[in-house]
């Protein structure tokens, strides 16, 4: 049995994860299985996924035996096929530190059973133009600590200290989760009949509820390519809750949270002021006046319909347009600010290949740093 299952779902619009596989192949001794999960046999054939095994013999192609209804179901196919003690999901254009398993082994030796381990996953906008992109903040700390579950529940479900999304480094996307907890979460999703295209947040919402012990590593262990949020054509809309993915990302996460609580027979309130602040931030992220007005109107209608409309008066976003880019460089506190296109890096994989040279090696963290 492998130590870590790296699950790479390949949606119909995505390309083969060759660069990611090549990065993994640089560490052939890591006890890793790589599960490439195409959305269909047609995707597997189009992207010639079968040839990835020639790059790294640990690759296994797991093609669904039946059509998948959503990204959430596609991730489930990978989880069902995984055989390792730890599981993680990354997308084809992302990058993942192959030595992350050493962090998991170290944490287990110090803390015993742990349900999920998170870290500072960096974000790269692959579409950013050179000269028109902001700096990326690289944490200089590399400590590994246990985080309190109550604090994590407050950060996620009460939106404490959030931007337009709650703080949550745990789950299965760009984090590792025990196989037992992954299967428990997946089982609850299937029982609830959930089908949508935001599996990252669905897994995070349930992992923090169902897990008990969480550890966090300050050192970045992965980089994700991110794009602007696109509302789905067919959003999951509840009759008893006015927020949904068709409005915006904040509303989509609220729907996930509300549904998770509803399954337990509990009422989600979202810590009203914190949540409304998050909706304001989400609306103000729109840089075009019409898009801003449309999103504001959608949020205001939902807030008016939520809990008697008493919180709608707090919703006062102001159109800001394009914000100036943060182009700071150098050390600022515990953050090293560097150019998004350092040394000509175009994407997450190239970016991590460069910054990995001045990150603290994983071996040193696990050999010298006490939890």
Confidence of residue 30 (pLDDT cuts 50, 70, 90): very high
Query: 152: which residues sit within 8 A by CB, 6+ positions away?
Result: 168, 170, 208, 214
Residues 6+ apart with CB under 8 A from 324: none
Please name which of 139, 128, 138 lies closest in space to residue 341, comparing C-alpha atoms: 128
pTM of the model as a whole: 0.95
- Tell me what the mean pLDDT of segment 70-94 comes to: 97
pLDDT at 324: 84
CATH 3.90.550.10 fits 4-229+332-368, yes or no: yes
**Residue pLDDT, tens place only, 172-188:** 999 999 999 999 999 99
Distance CA 120, CA 90 (A): 14
75 exposed, middle or buried (CB, 10 Å; 0-12, 13-18, 19+)? Answer: buried
**Sequence-distant (≥ 6) Cβ neighbours of residue 341 within 8 angstroms:** 128, 130, 131, 133
Give the pLDDT of residue 184.
98
Q: Is the pLDDT of residue 270 over 80?
A: no
Task: Of 215, 225, 219, 222, give the one whose Cα is nearest residue 335.
Answer: 219
> How buried is 79 (Cβ within 10 angstroms: 0-12 exposed, 13-18 middle, 19+ buried)?
buried
Among residues 280, 321, 273, 274, the alpha carbon closest in space to that of 300 is found at 280
Give the count of beta carbons closer than 10 Å to the beta carbon of residue 109.
Answer: 10
**Would you kindly state where each structural domain of the chain is located, as residue ranges?**
4-229+332-368, 249-314
Tell me which of 274 and 369 has the higher pLDDT.
Answer: 274
């Amino acid at each position: 049995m492998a130590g870590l299952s790296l699950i790479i779902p390949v949606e119909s619009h995505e390309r083969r994860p060759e660069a990611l596989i090549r990065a993994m192949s640089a560490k052939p001794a890591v006890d890793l299985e790589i599960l490439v999960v195409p959305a269909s046999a047609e995707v597997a054939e189009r992207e010639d996924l079968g040839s990835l095994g020639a790059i790294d013999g640990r690759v296994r192609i797991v093609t669904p035996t039946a059509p998948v209804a959503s990204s959430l179901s596609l991730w489930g196919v990978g989880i069902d096929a995984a055989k390792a003690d730890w599981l993680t999901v990354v997308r084809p254009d992302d990058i993942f530190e192959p030595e992350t398993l050493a962090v998991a082994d170290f944490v287990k030796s110090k803390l015993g059973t742990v349900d999920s381990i998170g870290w500072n996953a960096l974000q790269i906008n692959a579409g950013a133009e050179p000269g028109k992109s902001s700096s990326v903040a690289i944490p200089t700390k590399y400590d590994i600590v246990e985080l309190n579950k109550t604090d994590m529940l407050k950060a996620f479900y009460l939106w404490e200290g959030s931007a337009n999304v709650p703080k949550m480094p745990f789950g299965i996307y760009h984090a590792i989760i025990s196989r037992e907890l992954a299967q428990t979460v997946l089982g609850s999703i299937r029982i609830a009949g959930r089908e949508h295209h935001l599996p990252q947040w669905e897994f995070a919402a349930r992992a923090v509820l169902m897990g008990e012990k969480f550890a966090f590593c300050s050192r970045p262990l992965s980089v994700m390519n991110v794009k602007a949020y696109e509302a789905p054509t067919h959003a999951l809309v509840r009759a008893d809750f006015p927020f949904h993915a068709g409005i915006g990302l904040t509303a989509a996460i609220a729907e996930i949270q509300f549904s998770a609580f509803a399954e337990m027979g509990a009422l989600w309130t979202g810590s009203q002021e914190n949540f409304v602040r998050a909706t304001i931030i989400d609306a103000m992220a729109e840089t075009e006046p019409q898009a801003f007005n449309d999103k504001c109107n959608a949020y205001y209608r939902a807030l008016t319909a939520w809990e008697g409309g008493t919180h709608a008066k707090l919703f006062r976003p102001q159109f800001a347009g394009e914000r100036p880019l943060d182009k700071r460089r150098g050390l600022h506190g515990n953050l090293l600010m560097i150019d998004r296109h350092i040394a000509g890096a175009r994407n997450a994989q190239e970016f991590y290949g460069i910054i990995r040279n001045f990150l603290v090696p994983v071996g040193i963290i696990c050999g010298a740093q006490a939890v």
